[in-house]
Amino acid sequence: MKRRDILTGAGALAMAGCAGEQSATGPAGTAETFEWKMVTTWPPGFPGMQTGVMRMVEQIEKASGGRLKIKIYAGGELVPPLEVFDAVSRGSVEMGHGAAYYWKGKTEAAQYFTTIPFGMTVLEMNGWLYYGGGLELYRELYADFNLVPFPAGNTGVQMGGWFNREINSIEDLKGLRMRIPGIGGEALARAGGAPVTLPASEVFTSLQTGVIDASEWVGPYNDQVLGLQETARYYYYPGWHEPGPTLECIVNKEAFASLPEDLRTIIELATTALNESMMAEYTARNADSLAALQDNPDIDIRRFPDEVLDELRRYVDEIIAELVARDPRAAKIDASFQAYRTKVARWTEISEKAFLNTRR
């Protein structure tokens, strides 16, 4: 038999086996179905993030033969975007999608699992999370909040953001009101700026009405979806504050434990697939979208001066040293993160970075 015939035959057999069993049963013979609710921090239908979550949920439903159905509520539809963590933690809903650094008000240590400014790229973050002890620490931290976290998406290196003034020296950040979350925002504060954390849905209006002077969001693709190119002239790179931010899927601990093993495995697989496919999507769409910005005479794409990046790095180092000194949970995670970063940087130096430097 040719390979194609074998596959067709196997398919026919599998279908025959299912005939008459329309209510799919799991391997353990259970026909129990689960109907879950999921809340996200993203606007309805938002490309990349929300659409990625929608794709994942569809895969979970198909892979489970309809035994795990998840109804998604975008940011604000059931709970405000930045209350996803609380909603899943207290069990009002079973599942959520967002980014760990939004929850620094709950535990500052969470920020390590999204990104640390000047920290790790997406390849390095995934290395740490899946094979360097990061995921165990992530689960240990979130267990205190009744949550099981899964890495579930990444945008890759982001852009530095949109500014309505040139940034030629660190002085130019003084008094700047900017949407920038996490430790990146704290670094801006040390430079004399005023960071704010806003969900995607509020960024455009805040910039357009002058409530803020600058904002980072993601990169060429997503920033144009929000219309940020209409609000500011200067588009700076690189995204020093988010070199490879991991997004997360969080599941209420009791809800997760209530699932049979195969459904738990399906969640594990589907989130891992999203972690990979979202990165691929951002790579492709950012490349598509960059051209329009480069051709736009009203947009000035610039690199941050080294002097500015050096100062920001110094602030980040100070912020992390203080964080580690006051928060034992952050200290434990930081030790793992920094040791891994040092180790993997040696490899990146002679692999990715060395190769990229050869490219013309």
Positions touching Ca ion (CB under 5 A) are: 158, 216, 242
Q: How far is the CB of 216 from Ca ion (least distance, A)?
A: 5
Closest CA to 40 of 199, 271, 260, 184: 199
Nearer to Ca ion, 186 or 242 (CB): 242
Q: How far is the CB of 241 from Ca ion (least distance, A)?
A: 7
Q: How far is the CB of 51 from Ca ion (least distance, A)?
A: 17
Helices 328-350 & 122-131 angle (0-180, nearest 10): 120
Q: How far is the CB of 165 from Ca ion (least distance, A)?
A: 20
Length of the chain: 360
Q: How far is the CB of 78 from Ca ion (least distance, A)?
A: 24
Nearer to Ca ion, 51 or 197 (CB): 197
Closest CA to 187 of 45, 52, 84, 308: 308
How crowded is the C-beta side of 287, counted as CA atoms within 13 Å?
Answer: 5
Residue 72 backbone dihedrals phi, psi, to 5 degrees: -95, 135
Nearer to Ca ion, 228 or 266 (CB): 228
Nearer to Ca ion, 132 or 184 (CB): 184
Nearer to Ca ion, 242 or 281 (CB): 242
**Beta strand segments in 48-132, E:** 68-73, 95-98
How far CA 83 is from CA of 3, 96, 102, 138, in Å, comes to 51, 10, 9, 19
How crowded is the C-beta side of 281, counted as CA atoms within 13 Å?
Answer: 19
Q: How far is the CB of 286 from Ca ion (least distance, A)?
A: 13
Nearer to Ca ion, 202 or 216 (CB): 216
d(CA 56, CA 150) in angstroms, rounded, equals: 13
Contact (CB, 8 A) for 185 and 315: no
Nearer to Ca ion, 72 or 218 (CB): 218
Q: How far is the CB of 262 from Ca ion (least distance, A)?
A: 35
